[in-house]
């Protein structure tokens, strides 16, 4: 037995951490009864926790003095087993190093090559360079760096780090993240050089819809680079004097695309001996121009995480080359060409084809065109540096006669999170749907959770991640990315006095008014993170934000609990809403708003209780009671019918536990199943109802109806896009219409994860793996087979290790196999009335029970036409009349 996989906070990279007393986690390879943590500080000080009798192995407190800026420490853990065996050998040490923790640690200047620029189009990128000398042997070298804009670093001609679009997008007015890099091995004796590629990015480039806005955070682009070395003169920050030059990137924007003229490439520009006499001195920004607190990242950087090769390349008669990567991605293309003569080559991008041509209308004003001008005819490979596209297809235009496309690759770009969740079944369509959900998550986790990766939007819409959070935390270790986003949400909520509908917020014409389901992200996302990680610290950090949202809504209800006034997005994108009015849902938005208020108030009350704030828990609990009472008073009939009488209204009432008793639940469930059948088992829900409807059916005894809805292939349904060849989840049920044309609605993305939120049902109910205790220490394995599926499996990489469930039907029996890691208890609930629940611990377990598939859910009930004599005759025959 050992303690393995030591980790601090939610970080994979322990270099440059931002906390002085980071919490520690590990995985015990067999049952743990006690532990000891040892901290060996860089200066030789040693502290230990002593033996702590506890089975807890996650987020344990730092048992030593706080770390100072730049300080290193080696952490080791040893364990004792339940029967007193131990201690084990010490774990492998984990070396952590603190970043720059105080603003006074930053002594470098903000330097800028461009303190303002006109915005009649995408602006160029810049190069900045500086040299410095080291004396004698270099024992250590670090770069701490960030930018107004996006940047790449070089040192002595080598790229430093492999992150893309650093420092990412945060609410820069409040927080700006910096990177810490170890460059010890890159330094040379004597003279060294550091270089920066710098462009607008989210800081100064065009952002937002309705034309968007330029200069959202400032008019400058600038870099903050502090190089610290330890050489014969000791540890010190080296003085840097910066100069700049135009780069070969003549224009670059996140929406616009990038133009690179390789004839302007500057060889060796980041090397020490380069002659920079013609370069221009960089401006030094006044200290007050620096925005927001400098913070170390809470999650992984954005990287190129995958490289796709084309599934098809077609050269058209007019010379255009259409490349299909077979998968809709967020990323960029890498091209290899030869035989070119210095004419610009254009690369256009699109998610789908319409009539064989790139369908670019859904991109709205995001042109997404890259232009590469090779230097000459020698072979060269190029990829844009500071732009990103949402695309499956790319079209190369303008390759000159005699030019050759040597290679084309699709570089997949997103936050480099660890994969944590898997699911598959015997149904290939359902499996492809699940893969589409995974892809839409990947494509929309480029540093922050966004709505879509392709059009002039790509914003951190709060409603989208609110509904998707349970899936996001299951599929990937997304805690670090979401924690970062929640900090922005809380900072801007404090600034504006409300949770905005997307964060970071930009004023591009969308109402900032509070809206249910969107603003509720302030409560529900931290809650989901707590559930999936067991980290109460996230609730502690976010609590003021959670409480402020609930109190704000309580005030908006006039203390009645009934949220009946103001702006709402409601059950956004109900398929019955006209293409140009996506908010016109069948379900009363006030019902949705009141239901969400009840849900959030309850969760915030529970959070208050968990973090030891009983008074706040009591206050919030009262608000919750009022909201539940208001919901019942206004929307629920005594018999359990729900006003609006829609699939969403009933699902919300059932899943948010807003009904009075079992009788009402049964009645609501029965009516829900009836509505779903009457709707021909097609989707009748938008953002709010879609994640809930299958669960609402299954928990009220209508799993067969849920399966029928789940496996529907006619539009609107989850599987219709799959039958149309989708490789990601679409924004609209019919983003592509059955005839293959693109939906005329203004909002028609092919890569929105929100409607993929049903994957949570796939993991928990179809696969059967349900979290019981936050952090996965206790799970319930309760698959509910159905829909004719022969088998299903799901697995989650929990903080304790991989938990797996798989079931298959064989000869009238159901066989269930469960893989339980140490530290996890699983309750097994087989789908048979005879099978009593069983509790198991670590190991691989196999169970079986008699199983007969439920009768298939009846099809849509016949609707009779009473005016038709023939139908009247049939009605008499059928006993209806």
164 Cβ neighbours under 8 A, 6+ residues apart: 301, 302, 303, 304, 413
Among 220, 271, 464, 528, binds ligand BGC (CB under 6 A): 464
Q: How far is the CB of 611 from ligand BGC (least distance, A)?
A: 30
Do residues 454 and 345 touch, judged by C-beta distance below 8 A? no
Contacts to ligand BGC from residues 590-649, by CB under 6 A? none
451 forms part of the interface with ligand BGC (CB under 6 A) = yes
**Residue 842 falls in the annotated catalytic set:** no
Do residues 699 and 705 touch, judged by C-beta distance below 8 A? no
Q: What are phi and psi of 662, to 5 degrees?
A: -65, -35
Task: Calculate the CA 373 to chain-centre distance.
Answer: 35
d(CA 178, CA 670): 55
741 C-beta neighbours (distance < 10 Å), count: 11
244 Cβ neighbours under 8 A, 6+ residues apart: 113, 126, 127, 128, 129, 279, 280, 281, 282
b vs e for 306-328, b when ≥16 Cβ sit within 10 Å of the residue's Cβ? eebebeeeeeeeeebbbbebebb
d(CA 762, CA 73): 43
Contacts to ligand BGC from residues 741-760, by CB under 6 A? 747, 752, 754
**Nearest to ligand BGC of 333, 465 (CB atom):** 465
**Nearest to ligand BGC of 370, 464 (CB atom):** 464
| Strand, coil or helix: 223 | strand
Q: How far is the CB of 598 from ligand BGC (least distance, A)?
A: 22
Q: Cis before residue 87, ω within 30 degrees of 0? A: yes
516 forms part of the interface with ligand BGC (CB under 6 A) = no
If residue 595 lies in a helix (H) or strand (E), which one and from where to where?
helix 589-610
**Residue 71 falls in the annotated catalytic set:** no
Q: How far is the CB of 645 from ligand BGC (least distance, A)?
A: 25
**Measuring CA to CA, which residue among 517, 495, 633, 631 is closest to residue 585?**
517
330 forms part of the interface with ligand BGC (CB under 6 A) = no
Radius of gyration, CA atoms only, the chain? 29
**For 530, which DSSP code?**
H
Q: Candidates 114-122, 461-469, 703-711, 712-720 — which segment interacts with ligand BGC by CB under 6 A?
A: 461-469
DSSP string, 22-40: --EEEEESS--SEEEEEEE
Contacts to ligand BGC from residues 825-844, by CB under 6 A? none
Per annotation, catalytic residue among 457, 492, 528, 842: 457
**Measuring CA to CA, which residue among 447, 307, 202, 330 is closest to residue 752?**
330
461 forms part of the interface with ligand BGC (CB under 6 A) = yes
CA angle 210–176–475, rounded 5-degree value = 75
769 C-beta neighbours (distance < 10 Å), count: 28
503 forms part of the interface with ligand BGC (CB under 6 A) = no
**Measuring CA to CA, which residue among 307, 113, 106 is closest to residue 226?**
106
Q: How far is the CB of 463 from ligand BGC (least distance, A)?
A: 5
**Nearest to ligand BGC of 172, 753 (CB atom):** 753
Q: Candidates 117-125, 325-333, 457-465, 852-860 — which segment interacts with ligand BGC by CB under 6 A?
A: 457-465
| Strand, coil or helix: 727 | coil
**Nearest to ligand BGC of 592, 829 (CB atom):** 592
**Nearest to ligand BGC of 624, 754 (CB atom):** 754
Q: How far is the CB of 752 from ligand BGC (least distance, A)?
A: 6
**Nearest to ligand BGC of 451, 528 (CB atom):** 451
Q: How far is the CB of 859 from ligand BGC (least distance, A)?
A: 33
Do residues 583 and 749 touch, judged by C-beta distance below 8 A? no
**Nearest to ligand BGC of 337, 747 (CB atom):** 747
Q: Candidates 23-31, 103-111, 458-466, 606-614 — which segment interacts with ligand BGC by CB under 6 A?
A: 458-466
Q: How far is the CB of 572 from ligand BGC (least distance, A)?
A: 6
Q: How many residues of this chain bind ligand BGC (CB under 6 A)? A: 11
**Nearest to ligand BGC of 517, 617 (CB atom):** 517
Do residues 360 and 347 touch, judged by C-beta distance below 8 A? no
Among 457, 477, 520, 574, binds ligand BGC (CB under 6 A): 457
Q: How far is the CB of 729 from ligand BGC (least distance, A)?
A: 11
**Nearest to ligand BGC of 423, 687 (CB atom):** 687
Q: How far is the CB of 461 from ligand BGC (least distance, A)?
A: 4
Q: By beta-carbon distance, which residue lies closest to ligand BGC?
A: 451
Residue 801 φ/ψ region, left for φ over 0, alpha for ψ in the -120 to 50 degree band, beta for the rest: left
d(CA 269, CA 196): 10
Q: Candidates 304-312, 418-426, 456-464, 860-868 — which segment interacts with ligand BGC by CB under 6 A?
A: 456-464
Q: What are phi and psi of 109, to 5 degrees?
A: -90, 150
Q: How far is the CB of 749 from ligand BGC (least distance, A)?
A: 6
Q: Candidates 375-383, 449-457, 485-493, 622-630 — which segment interacts with ligand BGC by CB under 6 A?
A: 449-457
Among 17, 108, 345, 452, binds ligand BGC (CB under 6 A): 452
Hey, what are 852's tokens? 């007969």
Per annotation, catalytic residue among 97, 258, 731, 842: 731
Letters for 555-584 (x = contact with ligand BGC by CB under 6 A, - = none) are: --------------x--x------------
**Nearest to ligand BGC of 322, 573 (CB atom):** 573
Q: How far is the CB of 676 from ligand BGC (least distance, A)?
A: 24
**Nearest to ligand BGC of 729, 781 (CB atom):** 729
**Nearest to ligand BGC of 295, 464 (CB atom):** 464
Residue 426's Cβ-count burial label (10 Å; 0-12, 13-18, 19+) is middle
- C-alpha dihedral sign at 108, 114, 116, 122: negative
Q: Which residue is associated with the tokens 């065109």?
A: 369
836 Cβ neighbours under 8 A, 6+ residues apart: none
Among 248, 331, 390, 463, binds ligand BGC (CB under 6 A): 463
Beta bridge partners of 79: 35
Hey, what are 455's tokens? 């059009």
Contacts to ligand BGC from residues 241-270, by CB under 6 A? none
Q: Cis before residue 799, ω within 30 degrees of 0? A: no
Q: How far is the CB of 115 from ligand BGC (least distance, A)?
A: 33
Contacts to ligand BGC from residues 356-415, by CB under 6 A? none
Q: Which residues are catalytic?
A: 457, 731
Q: Which residues contact ligand BGC by CB under 6 A?
A: 451-452, 457, 461, 463-464, 569, 572, 747, 752, 754
């Amino acid at each position: 037995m050992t303690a393995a996989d030591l980790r601090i906070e939610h970080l994979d990279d322990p270099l440059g951490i931002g906390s002085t007393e980071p919490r520690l986690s590990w995985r015990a390879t067999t049952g743990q009864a006690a532990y000891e943590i040892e901290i060996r500080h860089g200066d030789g000080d040693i502290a230990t926790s002593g033996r702590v009798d506890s089975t807890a192995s996650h987020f344990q407190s730092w048992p030593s003095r706080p770390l100072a800026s730049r300080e290193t420490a080696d952490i080791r853990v040893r364990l004792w087993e339940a029967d007193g065996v131990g201690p084990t050998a010490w774990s492998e040490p984990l070396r952590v190093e603190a970043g720059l923790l105080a603003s006074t640690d930053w002594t470098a200047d903000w330097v800028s090559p461009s303190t303002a620029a006109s915005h009649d189009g995408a602006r160029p990128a810049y190069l900045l360079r500086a040299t410095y000398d080291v004396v004698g042997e270099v024992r250590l070298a670090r770069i701490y760096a960030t930018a107004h804009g996006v940047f790449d670093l070089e040192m002595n001609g080598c790229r430093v780090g492999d992150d893309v679009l650093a420092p990412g997008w945060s609410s820069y007015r409040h927080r700006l993240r910096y990177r810490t890099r170890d460059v010890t091995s890159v330094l040379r004796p004597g003279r060294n050089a550091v270089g920066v590629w710098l462009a607008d990015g989210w800081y100064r480039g065009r952002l937002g819809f309705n034309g968007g806005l330029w200069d959202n955070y400032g008019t400058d682009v600038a870099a903050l680079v502090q190089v610290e070395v330890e050489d014969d003169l000791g540890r010190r920050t080296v003085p840097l004097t910066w100069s700049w030059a135009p780069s070969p990137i003549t224009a670059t924007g996140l929406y616009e695309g990038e133009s690179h003229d390789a004839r302007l490439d500057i060889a060796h520009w980041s090397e020490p001996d380069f002659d920079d006499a013609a370069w221009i001195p960089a401006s030094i920004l006044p200290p007050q121009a620096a925005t927001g607190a400098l913070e170390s990242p809470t999650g992984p950087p954005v990287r190129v995480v995958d490289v796709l090769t084309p599934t098809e390349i077609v050269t058209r008669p007019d010379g255009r080359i259409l490349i299909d990567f077979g998968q809709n991605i967020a990323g960029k293309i890498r091209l290899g060409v030869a035989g070119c003569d210095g004419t610009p080559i254009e690369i256009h991008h699109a998610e789908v084809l319409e009539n064989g041509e790139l369908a670019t209308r859904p991109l709205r004003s995001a042109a997404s065109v890259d232009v590469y001008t090779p230097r000459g005819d020698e072979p060269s490979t190029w990829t844009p540096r500071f732009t990103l596209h949402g695309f499956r297809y790319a079209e190369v235009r303008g390759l000159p006669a005699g030019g050759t496309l040597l290679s084309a690759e699709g570089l997949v770009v997103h936050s480099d999170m660890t994969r944590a969740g898997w699911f598959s079944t015997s149904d290939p369509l359902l499996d492809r749907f699940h893969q589409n959900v995974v892809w839409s998550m990947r494509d929309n986790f480029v540093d922050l959770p966004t709505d879509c990766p392709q059009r002039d939007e790509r914003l951190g819409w709060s409603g989208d991640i609110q509904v998707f959070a349970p899936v996001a935390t299951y599929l990937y270790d997304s805690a670090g990315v979401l924690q970062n986003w929640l900090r922005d949400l809380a900072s801007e909520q404090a600034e504006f006095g409300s949770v905005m509908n997307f964060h970071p917020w930009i004023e591009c014409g969308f109402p900032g008014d509070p809206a249910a389901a969107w603003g509720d992200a302030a409560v529900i996302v931290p809650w989901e993170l707590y559930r999936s990680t067991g980290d109460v610290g996230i609730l502690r950090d976010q609590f003021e934000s959670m409480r402020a949202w609930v109190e704000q809504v309580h005030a908006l209800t006039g203390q009645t609990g009934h949220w009946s006034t103001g702006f709402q997005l409601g059950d956004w994108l109900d398929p019955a809403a006209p293409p140009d009015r996506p908010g016109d849902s069948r379900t009363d938005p006030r019902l949705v708003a009141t239901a969400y208020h009840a849900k959030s108030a309850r969760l915030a009350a529970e959070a208050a209780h968990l973090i030891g704030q009983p008074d706040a828990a009591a206050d919030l609990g009262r608000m919750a009671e009022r909201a539940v009472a208001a919901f019942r008073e206004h929307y629920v009939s005594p018999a359990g019918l729900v006003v609006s009488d829609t699939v969403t209204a009933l699902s919300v009432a059932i899943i948010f536990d807003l009904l009075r008793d079992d009788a009402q639940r049964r009645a609501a469930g029965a009516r829900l199943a009836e509505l779903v059948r009457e709707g021909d088992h097609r989707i009748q829900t938008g953002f709010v109802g879609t994640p809930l409807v299958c669960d609402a059916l299954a928990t009220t005894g209508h799993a067969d109806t849920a399966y029928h809805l789940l496996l529907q292939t006619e539009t609107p349904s989850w599987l219709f896009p799959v039958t149309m060849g989708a490789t990601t989840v679409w924004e609209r049920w019919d983003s592509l219409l059955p005839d293959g044309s693109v939906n005329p609605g203004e909002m028609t993305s092919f890569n929105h994860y929100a409607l993929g939120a049903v994957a949570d049902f796939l993991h928990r109910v179809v696969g059967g793996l349900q979290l019981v205790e936050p952090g996965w220490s206790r799970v319930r394995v309760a698959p509910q087979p159905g829909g004719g599926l022969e088998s299903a499996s799901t697995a989650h990489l929990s903080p304790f290790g991989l938990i797996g469930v798989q079931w298959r039907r064989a000869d009238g029996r159901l066989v269930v196999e469960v893989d339980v890691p140490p530290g996890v208890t699983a309750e097994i609930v087989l789908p048979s009335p005879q099978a009593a629940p069983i509790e198991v611990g670590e190991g691989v377990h196999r169970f079986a029970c008699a199983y007969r598939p439920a009768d298939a859910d009846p099809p849509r009930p016949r609707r009779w036409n009473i005016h038709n004599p023939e139908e009247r005759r049939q009605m008499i025959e059928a006993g209806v009349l």
